Amino acid sequence: MSAKPTVVVTGIGMVTSIGAGRHEFWNALLAGTCGFAPVKSFDTSAYSVHLGAEIQNFKAEDYVRTLDVNSIGRSSQLAIAAARLALADASLDLTEIDLEHAGVCGGTTSGEPQFIERFDDHYVHDELRKVGREFITGYPCHVVPCHVAMELGFSGEAMMIPTACAAGNYAIAHASDLLRARKASVMLAGGADSFSRITYTGFARLGAIAPEVCQPFDRNRKGMVPGEGAAMLLLELKDHAIARGARIYCEVAGYGLSCDAHHMTAAHPQGEGAARAIRMALDQSGIAPEEVDYISAHGTGTLTNDRLETIAVKNTFKKQAYKIPISSIKSMLGHTMGAASAIEAAVCALAITEGHIPPTVNWKEQDPECDLDYVPNVARKHNVRIAMNNAYAFGGNNSSLIFRARAV
Amino acid sequence: MDVEAIRAKVKESIFKVTGIEAATISDSAVYVAELGLDSLSILEIAVSVEEQFKFHASDEELSAIRTVDDTVELVRRRICAAVA
Amino acid sequence: MQKRVAITGMGVISSLGDSPATLHSSLCNGKTSIYQFDESHLNGSGGKGSGRIAAFRAQSYLRGKNLRPLDRTGQLVVAGAGLALEDSGWTPEHLAEYPVGLVLGTMFGSLHTIAKFDRHALEQGPGCASPMDFANTVINAAAGQTAIWHNLRGINSTISSGSASGLAALGYAMDLIRFAGQTAVLAGGADEFCFESFCGFEHAGMLHSSGSLELPVPFHASRTGFALGEAVGLLMLEEWETAMARGAHILAEIRGHGSAYDSSRQDRGMAVRSIVRAMADALNDAGMSPREVTCISASANGSVREDQDEAVAIQSLFNGSSQSIPITAIKSMIGETLGASGSLQAIDLVETMRSSVLPGILGLGQKDPLLPELNFCCEQQEINQCHGLVNSIGLDGNVYSLVISRGPGKT
């Protein structure tokens, strides 16, 4: 077992299509609530699919207090909201921490896509003169964690890790490393993505969007449903948390990262890179495969991902794979892109503390190639000491994060 | 448009996406096994062909394409349907 | 005992050359790659320079394979990685045996592809969108493409900290080696020149306007902004003992890194303090004192505010010794290459240590009188350089600093 300092999760905040904040979100998740509806933020009449998982009625002004809410994009607004919820959940008093050692590490797929979409709207209408300063100050993806840092006065590192659909895991991994190296005393880590016309168009073009429902691992699954959201976890060293009397959800035990180096949009056919990431995470955490009690799957609902992910889990866990419940909350939230693995990390922390795991909903018929226990349709009470969070992205980026119940 | 003309245009699309010269592509070439293409390239070729011939294939039609012949047949079917 | 991080190879493609030696020689000879960019189609803005790589031909670096899946950013990174791998002696056979990682810093990724994909769909309909272009719209696309091309199966990450991304990536990779058990990671940064980002910076009033100064000159009294460039710069970082064991040629050592964020964005005092903190943290991480620094590669690019903040911060931290430490600013010649900038500075610093010649700041006859008295190098000079500090000060408050020490045995 490593002698490195222990990183713990002390606060959780999220904004999703099924609820904002830990309590509302968790209750909705356990109840199997889905956030799917016809897309509203742009016209999909020219598309063959129309389903999305947008956040309805999000009021940024409820959360953004320092910055001018109109000067920042939607991803930044969602990230700030998640950050404020996490800080409140952690009962962290900002006047009592060293702000110069408080940092933000975010993940994303698109950053602030509405800004480039507006740029393009101007371009096609021959109105580039209407592009103002806001494009450069609002668009580049690194401004999302910067806006969180500006909102809160955090002056440590502010970094964006845009590793797409695995980004949240990467952000939490990096934040944990900074804490262990004592380069920071608190870190907000997570991910955010707002609904994107570009992302929707691309996945529609790949034929990857389900027409009616997202049903990961089901025999008749027809694809994913693009969504949006944000989640932030407050991380600190265990000693720091205990000293301020914080409630500790769990420990960040370790992580594994790898690259398929195979294909830009499809995973390795034997799940080789994903399996390596799982093994690295287990090694780094000092945990044996049979100790894992729950896996939060990437589980997008596409034919390929779900099949290959199942192969990777079986290759790593062997027969033990059949004993580990593995569920996909994308069955309810859709694919929130850069926020996905951050929201799923929060779910792992909650699973550990609540002894309850969320279901994979919309599951009706078993696929012979996906024959694990996906916790179909109904949430389940389950003692979770070790939870694993897997996430995979375009470019072959694979990630596994392991959370462990606090050592007594 | 006759089949040979369609085939020539399909091979133009293949060249545009993959750099593989039309003269080296057999009419019945299998995209994955013989031309060594991945799923993204095959889809890109289909999009290029759709643009050339001004039609949109359904996801089912696209997922059934395995060979050059399949692509040519899809175009021929769509052109006939348009004319009819 | 903490692990040491060696630099065992470098690859660069820039508007001043596609090898570290050529780049360094051009900089020492005061060559500039900033030329007048014809952007008359961008609604009348004039007189702006750019450092676009005018003659980049991907085919000359990437032979034998279809290049269609790669866009310009992808081509630059794949090509730059190939040069760095070759320079460090990592052959395809070695790469097949061992999973080398890649950490790429970039501000925009493939902005032109993102925009082109979107516009094509807007104008022709979503059914005409290009699947291959979509694969390149994710900001981590170039890192993914490079991994596929060169079989890099280790930790693959993309970092965005604005124009400080390249240096941030080097620090991130350094920590993967020191703390996460990695032994070989290719790291650095890249950003392409495209009219979308040019237009954006221009409309934000950040670009140099030729008035009394023809070209943007860092620290000059008449500076008005920067010239936008493009480049890729990648360094092979390896755990020291492992590098020695495989007989690698160690060019230099990365000793430490530091970062900070100016969350105020309005308070100049806080902006200066964040730069001081980043530099101090880097030196602390390296186990060095400011007195031991023998050269500074400044981030300064001609921006009115940031150049001044950096100068004030340097004087503040180095205090007594600040007047003697020579300072260079290579963006005076190569322009602001955004995500690539920090890695280009690092590469040139390694070359400076190997050649004992430090490039001057082109066009800086006399510094801005509002700036503190520092040893700004106006011309190339001979230097016995042991420990250099590289700064990257982003346009949005991110600050990164890196300490590099000379390698064992000068070549």
- CB of B43 less than 8 A from some CB of C: yes
State the nearest Cα–Cα gap between A394 and chain B, in angstroms: 12
Which of A103, A141, A397 is facing C160, going by the closest CB pair? Answer: A141
- Confidence class of residue C410 from pLDDT cuts 50, 70 and 90? very low
Check: CB of residue C186 under 8 Å from CB of residue C335: no
Q: Locate the chain A residue with the closest alpha carbon to C128.
A: A205
Q: Locate the chain C residue with the closest alpha carbon to B51.
A: C128
Task: Look up A165 and say whether it is catalytic.
Answer: yes
Chain A hits for C281, Cβ within 8 Å: 183
For residue range C82-123, list pLDDT tens digits in order.
999 999 999 999 999 999 999 999 999 999 999 999 999 999
Catalytic position from the list A165, A214, A348, A370: A165
pLDDT at A306: 97
Contact (CB<8Å) B47/C68: no
Instruction: Pick the residue of B51, B59, B62, B65 with the most A CBs within 10 A to test the interface with A by mutation.
Output: B59
Encoded tokens for C289 = 């004192």
Contact (CB<8Å) A263/B40: yes
Chain B hits for C69, Cβ within 8 Å: 40-41
Contact (CB<8Å) B47/C69: no
Contact (CB<8Å) C139/A111: yes
pLDDT at B63: 85
**DSSP β-bridge partners for residue C207:** C226
Encoded tokens for C366 = 């006399």
Cβ atoms < 10 Å from Cβ of B21: 10
Contact (CB<8Å) B41/C130: no
Residue A312 or residue C321, greater confidence: A312
Q: How many A/C residue pairs have CB atoms within 8 Å?
A: 251
Residue found under tokens 């880590």: A189
Share of chain C above pLDDT 70, in %: 95
Catalytic position from the list A335, A348, A356, A370: A335
Q: What is the DSSP letter of C189?
A: E
pLDDT at A407: 81
Among positive and negative, which fits the CA dihedral A282, A257, A19, A137? positive
Catalytic position from the list A147, A174, A240, A298: A298
**DSSP β-bridge partners for residue C391:** C401
Cβ atoms < 10 Å from Cβ of C349: 27
Q: What is the Cα–Cα distance from C75 to C72, expressed in whole angstroms?
A: 5
Chain A hits for B40, Cβ within 8 Å: 263-266
- CB of B60 less than 8 A from some CB of A: no
- CB of C128 less than 8 A from some CB of B: yes
For residue range A322-334, list pLDDT tens digits in order.
999 999 999 999 9
Chains with 3+ CB–CB pairs under 8 A to C are A, B
Residue found under tokens 């056919």: A269
C231-239 and C5-14: which strand pairing?
antiparallel
State the nearest Cα–Cα gap between A266 and chain B, in angstroms: 8
Average pLDDT over residues C159-173: 97
Which of C119, C144, C165 is facing A124, going by the closest CB pair? Answer: C119
Check: CB of residue C253 under 8 Å from CB of residue C5: yes
Contact (CB<8Å) A159/C160: yes
Chain C hits for B16, Cβ within 8 Å: 68
For residue range B2-59, list pLDDT tens digits in order.
899 999 999 999 999 999 999 999 989 999 999 989 889 999 999 999 999 988 888 8
Q: What is the Cα–Cα distance from B66 to B46, expressed in whole angstroms?
A: 11
Contact (CB<8Å) A395/C140: yes
Which of B18, B19, B44 is facing C130, going by the closest CB pair? Answer: B44
State the nearest Cα–Cα gap between B62 and chain A, in angstroms: 9
Check: CB of residue A363 under 8 Å from CB of residue A377: yes
Q: What is the Cα–Cα distance from A236 to A102, expressed in whole angstroms?
A: 10
Which of C125, C162, C260 is facing A142, going by the closest CB pair? Answer: C162
Chain A hits for C160, Cβ within 8 Å: 111, 140-142, 159-162
pLDDT at A269: 82
Instruction: Pick the residue of B35, B38, B40 with the most C CBs within 10 A to test the interface with C by mutation.
Output: B40
pLDDT at C63: 87
For residue range A19-64, list pLDDT tens digits in order.
999 999 999 999 999 999 999 999 999 999 999 999 999 999 999 9
Contact (CB<8Å) B62/A207: yes
Encoded tokens for A134 = 């806001």
HSE-up (13 A, CA, CB side) for residue A239: 6
Chains with 3+ CB–CB pairs under 8 A to A are B, C
Q: Locate the chain C residue with the closest alpha carbon to B19.
A: C66
Q: Locate the chain C residue with the closest alpha carbon to A161.
A: C159
Give the DSSP letter string of A281-294.
HHHHHT--GGG--E
- Of A104, A235, A106, whose CA–CA distance to A163 is shortest? A106
Encoded tokens for C253 = 């050592």
Check: CB of residue C310 under 8 Å from CB of residue C304: no
Which of A121, A140, A395 is facing C107, going by the closest CB pair? Answer: A140
Chain A hits for C395, Cβ within 8 Å: 136
For residue range C281-325, list pLDDT tens digits in order.
999 999 999 999 999 999 999 999 999 999 999 999 998 666 689
Instruction: Pick the residue of A94, A201, A260 with the most C CBs within 10 A to test the interface with C by mutation.
Output: A201
Q: What is the pTM of this model?
A: 0.96
Virtual CA dihedral for A259, A260, A261, A262, nearest 10 degrees? -160
Where would I find the H helices in A17-72? 22-30
Instruction: Pick the residue of B13, B21, B45, B47 with the most C CBs within 10 A to test the interface with C by mutation.
Output: B47
Give the DSSP letter string of A304-332.
HHHHHHHHHHHHHHGGGGGGS-EE-THHH
Contact (CB<8Å) C118/A129: no
For residue range A195-250, list pLDDT tens digits in order.
999 999 999 999 999 999 999 999 999 999 999 999 999 999 999 999 999 999 99
Chains with 3+ CB–CB pairs under 8 A to B are A, C
Encoded tokens for C390 = 């590289």
Chain C hits for A261, Cβ within 8 Å: 147-148, 150-153, 156
Q: What is the Cα–Cα distance from C100 to C81, expressed in whole angstroms?
A: 12
Q: How far is CA A132 from the centre of its chain?
A: 32
Contact (CB<8Å) B40/C135: yes
Average pLDDT over residues C56-84: 93
Asked if residue A146 has pLDDT above 60, the reply is: yes
Contact (CB<8Å) C129/B16: no
Q: What is the Cα–Cα distance from A128 to A109, expressed in whole angstroms?
A: 26
Which of B16, B41, B56 is facing C127, going by the closest CB pair? Answer: B56
Q: What is the Cα–Cα distance from A120 to B44, expressed in whole angstroms?
A: 23
Give every strand in the sheet of C231-239, ordered side by side.
C156-159, C101-105, C184-191, C231-239, C5-14, C252-261, C398-406, C387-393, C295-297, C326-328, C375-376
Contact (CB<8Å) B40/C69: yes
Check: CB of residue C103 under 8 Å from CB of residue C180: no
Average pLDDT over residues A377-402: 96
| The one-letter amino acid at A208 | A
Check: CB of residue C358 under 8 Å from CB of residue C328: yes
- CB of A206 less than 8 A from some CB of B: yes
Share of chain C above pLDDT 90, in %: 84
Q: What is the Cα–Cα distance from A306 to A148, expressed in whole angstroms?
A: 34
Contact (CB<8Å) A177/C204: no
Among positive and negative, which fits the CA dihedral C298, C304, C309, C311? positive
Contact (CB<8Å) A264/B40: yes
CATH architecture of B3-83: Orthogonal Bundle (1.10)
Asked if residue C44 has pLDDT above 70, the reply is: no
Asked if residue A251 has pLDDT above 90, the reply is: yes
State the nearest Cα–Cα gap between A8 and chain C, in angstroms: 18
Average pLDDT of chain A, as a whole number: 96
Asked if residue C36 has pLDDT above 80, the reply is: no
Check: CB of residue A107 under 8 Å from CB of residue A233: no
Give the DSSP letter string of B34-49.
TT---HHHHHHHHHHH
Check: CB of residue B17 under 8 Å from CB of residue B41: yes
Q: What is the DSSP letter of B24?
A: G
